Structure 1
Amino acid sequence: MADWIRHVDEPPPELDISLVQGGERFERLPSPLFYAVQWALDRSLFSQPFGRSAANFYPLDLADASGYSRYEVARVRLPPRVWERFTRDPNQRRLHVRFGAGDELDDSHSTWDWSRVFTYLLNHDPEADAGADAEVSVSDGSLQQAAELDGSGTTDPDPGASLNYRWFLIDGPTVDLTRSANRGFVQSMAKRVSTGSGARVTAVPKGATVPPGARGTYRFKLEVTDDDVSTYYGNRGRDEDDATIAIGESAGAGGVSVLSPTSDRQAHVERPTDDRVRIEYEIGPDLYRELEQQYGFFMLELLVRHLERPGRAPVYEDVTRGKPPRRGQFTWHLYDVDGLRTEPGPYDVSLSVVGARDFGLLTVDGYSTSTTEEKALYLDPFQFWADLVSFRPPASVQRGLHNDPDVSSGRFQPIEDAIGPVNLDYYPVRIDAFPTVQGQTFTPSDLVEYVRLNINYLQEISAISFAPTTFTPWNARHRWTWHSSSPVGAFIFLDLTGPDNATVVCTAYDATHWRFSTTYTTSAVDGYPVLAHPVSGNREWGIFKNDRGTYTFYTRAADRTLYTDHPSIGYGVGDVLWRGLQAGVAKFVNSNGGSATVETPITLRPAWADVAQCCHNPTRSWLYQ
């Protein structure tokens, strides 16, 4: 049969295995005692055990077959941590699986009957490369060299992958398209690019006439798809990149200009995921020559102003350390050692050519040596937490808590019903190298699982200065749920510092994160009812990959105090606790051959009205409030 195609970023594969005699996919023995599923990166590992390791082979014994005897189909799933381990190496192209049944549970399975081998073709994203930005000159109205786009640097980790290239014109200078010459030039270029095939296309051929009003910098997008665009709901098996071509001199842009962000193309910056803003600029070639001839040395100054700040004083200033290149960029870092240094809202971006002695504006007749892009930036400090602010547990989890026979009057605590300011916090730990435990190097999901199941032991006491909070499943049934591969619904008791206790429910989980939501119950511990959690809302633990190849483990929350509107009383203990967890996770990684660094936490305490206006958009209803 043909291979099943699966993208490496998809959830782990599941198999529905027929357990009836003569089933469509597998046949069961007349009266087997045991079932098993085996996964391997090399199908030869099925027939001989030599060479098997955790990195290439995963046996799943389903144990007592009687547990499946009343079912016609068994659903088995490759654990997320194993799937991640199998797909870590981009050179691995295939994953094989088979199903077996037998009367003896032993490592060799020598007397077992096995199905035929089924194969997943593992697909990885291509890596698009649209090539370097380019400049082509115009003389006497004609293009002196062809304007070429070159995507030949594109690669795909999958051996023998067939790639499809598509080019698009996506942006350009302001052009008066009511003039037929301008319109014809732009339309011809867009058509030539979009109908081109292959990695290389010619946007404008050498010798083409370029109208003065159509000259400037154009941006093109390269979209690359591989031979499987159907995986992962159509969102994988592809990649994009863009490149620019500066064609001649842009009309009216012989001066200083901001390329991005601009008033027409704002940069919406979400913190803390975005910790910097890049501001790209261009100095027209004629102005650049005039500046060199008249002044010899000059610099470029950047000013960023908050539109709502009194006096409109700059919130950020920078200047090139020497004569600037004709095209370049500034980088505005949004944080300092004390945390956030910038306020939300719109910002203007201004550029000026200045002298070295007094930073005064330099002028050149016939050219603009300064420019301002109004409302080019918009900083939004709350969107990073919007999903937690809006999150409500699935209806099945709400019903499970409400109907739980071991939990009295159990219900969730809505964030909108609390009275305090909103706590939006984020405690990151950068992971440069993962730890190795018992000879096995952790994957990102392995670290998430380890913290989830060992959180009571990872709170660094020296950083907390008081007894740590302990997380304990409510009873044996919830302990089984919490320690399973599907912990959603587990009811957890929190022994907090001081007289308070609390409960939470695991309301979301996958290989990269889990989430707790706070709850109320009249059930008692040591004779005293637990009642309400001190805060109402949601907290998440998880991991994500950074642009530079490192990872960040984190916990973050959106919650509000239930009984007090004083943030230092309601959140102070929590701040210390999560700093202790940061220190504990970093210590565990570093003590086991990895490399981790505690990064600066972020804690915001805005008014509920401000957060609700932008970020409280729940998609589920409360069932039992």
Structure 2
Amino acid sequence: MRYLNGFSIIFSMIFSALSLPQVAGAECFKSLPINELSSRNVDYFKDLANWRPPIKEAKEVKRFLPPGSGVGNMVNIDFYYVIFRKPPDKTLAELFKDIRLHFGEFARGATSDYDFQPYGKLFEVSAYSEENRKKWESDNPTGALMSFKLDTQFANPKTFAQKVGYKVVRTFKFAHPWGDVQSTCATDTDFVFSTVETVRGYTHPVAGNRGFGIRDAGNGNWIFYSKAVDRESDSYYNKAAPKSVFCHGHLFWLDFYSNVKNYLNSHGMPVQSVVTTNRGIVWWPFRSNEPPPNEPSCG
């Protein structure tokens, strides 16, 4: 009986350790320094370039897509942010959770060109969708599997014209609009999404990691930001996209941050600035002292 009691105590200790709340002050990734928010120094992005999920793949995830699994010799790095007056009645952690729980609203906006929802809803796996929703809406979303709808035009067949001899041959392909991500790290003030290949959602258009965070920006202001490192993935559907995958991603985040701005302004947190210009491709692997390659227009 004494051994059983001892086992019960040990089990309780282990269960308590696994249930511990997130530690304040911990972080999943590094923000850019507050005085270098426009920096293109690749050293500031190495943490996400080298990020390997410390957790296992969620159910229906076939594989994680780290930057090293991408194709080509270019990689997108970006740092988007919004600076706003801090609220008088919330902590950084409380507001960060509020923002996180409005990701669907920020993605959809007024036109619903994009979307964000728990993985499984699109495919009517209702029980699994509900499981991911609850995990995402909890205080610790680590492990939640979520889906971004990246561009409505991807959902339609694409027509291509190619000249073959004296003839113009027209073909069309279907492009997949969804990109699935798994939350692979979370604290009370930041988290990381890692792109994945899933059973139903196929392969995300990019291979990489994107972190989101919030911090004090000084002078009564806070900053909400995201930092990313991603390469084009080996998804077949990337071939059907009329723009580069990085252009499509940038257009998505322009809308997203515009909607974040509207949310903050409407909730008594006047926005001081929204910056979405610290983006673009650099060489892969990172080359610290070389100019970046020429980047195609997203127009």
Within 1, Cα distance between the matches of 2:221 and 2:76? 28
Q: Are 1:543 and 1:552, in contact at CA under 8 Å, matched by a contact in 2? A: yes
**AA partner of residue 77 (structure 2):** L
Within 2, Cα distance between the matches of 1:535 and 1:426? 16
Within 2, Cα distance between the matches of 1:75 and 1:478? 23
Q: Deviations over 1:22-78 (max 9, x none)?
A: x9xxxxxxxxxxxxxxxxxxxxxxxxxxxxxxxxxxxxxxxxxxxx99965563878
Within 2, Cα distance between the matches of 1:489 and 1:596? 31
1:597 aligns with 2:272: yes
Aligned with 2:47 (options 371, 387, 398)? 387
Deviation at 1:485, TM superposition (A): 2.5
Counterpart position of 1:326: none
1:537 aligns with 2:208: yes
**AA partner of residue 283 (structure 2):** A
1:606 aligns with 2:282: yes
Q: CA RMSD in A?
A: 3.8
Aligned with 1:484 (options 138, 141, 148)? 138
Counterpart position of 1:75: 16
Within 1, Cα distance between the matches of 2:69 and 2:252? 25
Q: Deviations over 1:303-336 (max 9, x none)?
A: xxxxxxxxxxxxxxxxxxxxxxxxxxxxxxxx9x
Secondary structure at the counterpart of residue 546 of structure 1: strand
User: Normalized per residue, which structure has more strand?
Assistant: 1
1:512 aligns with 2:186: no
Matches within 5 A, 1:491-510: 491-497=145-151, 498-499=154-155, 500=176, 501-510=178-187
**AA partner of residue 506 (structure 1):** S
Q: Deviations over 1:391-415 (max 9, x none)?
A: 0101xx23x43xx3xx1x6111121
Aligned with 2:80 (options 427, 440, 458)? 427
Q: Are 1:502 and 1:533, in contact at CA under 8 Å, matched by a contact in 2? A: yes
1:584 aligns with 2:259: yes
Structure of higher CA gyration radius: 1
1:410 aligns with 2:62: yes
Counterpart position of 1:132: none
Deviation at 1:612, TM superposition (A): 8.7
1:273 aligns with 2:214: no
Q: Are 2:211 and 2:227, in contact at CA under 8 Å, matched by a contact in 1? A: yes
Counterpart position of 2:294: none
Counterpart position of 1:355: none
Within 1, Cα distance between the matches of 2:49 and 2:288? 8
Q: Are 1:424 and 1:605, in contact at CA under 8 Å, matched by a contact in 2? A: yes
Secondary structure at the counterpart of residue 599 of structure 1: strand
**Identity fraction in percent:** 23
Runs of 4 or more, structure 1, over 4 Å off, are 68-74, 76-81, 563-568, 611-614
Change (3 A) 1:538 1:271: closer
Secondary structure at the counterpart of residue 393 of structure 1: coil
Deviation at 1:568, TM superposition (A): 5.0
Q: Deviations over 1:604-625 (max 9, x none)?
A: 21111335999xxxxxxxxxxx
> Normalising by structure 2, what TM-score?
0.68
Within 1, Cα distance between the matches of 2:210 and 2:12? 40
Within 2, Cα distance between the matches of 1:79 and 1:452? 18
Counterpart position of 1:3: none
**AA partner of residue 179 (structure 2):** A
Secondary structure at the counterpart of residue 215 of structure 2: strand
Q: Are 1:271 and 1:382, in contact at CA under 8 Å, matched by a contact in 2? A: no
**AA partner of residue 249 (structure 2):** G
Secondary structure at the counterpart of residue 16 of structure 2: strand
**AA partner of residue 426 (structure 1):** F
Q: Deviations over 1:165-191 (max 9, x none)?
A: xxxxxxxxxxxxxxxxxxxxxxxxxxx
Q: Are 1:388 and 1:538, in contact at CA under 8 Å, matched by a contact in 2? A: yes
Counterpart position of 1:218: none
Aligned length: 244
**AA partner of residue 488 (structure 1):** T
Give ranges in structure 2 of 5+ residues lacking alignment.
121-127, 156-175, 291-299
User: Normalized per residue, which structure has more helix?
Assistant: 2
Within 2, Cα distance between the matches of 1:70 and 1:392? 31
Secondary structure at the counterpart of residue 75 of structure 1: helix
Matches within 5 A, 1:213-292: 273=33, 275=35
Change (3 A) 1:459 1:493: closer
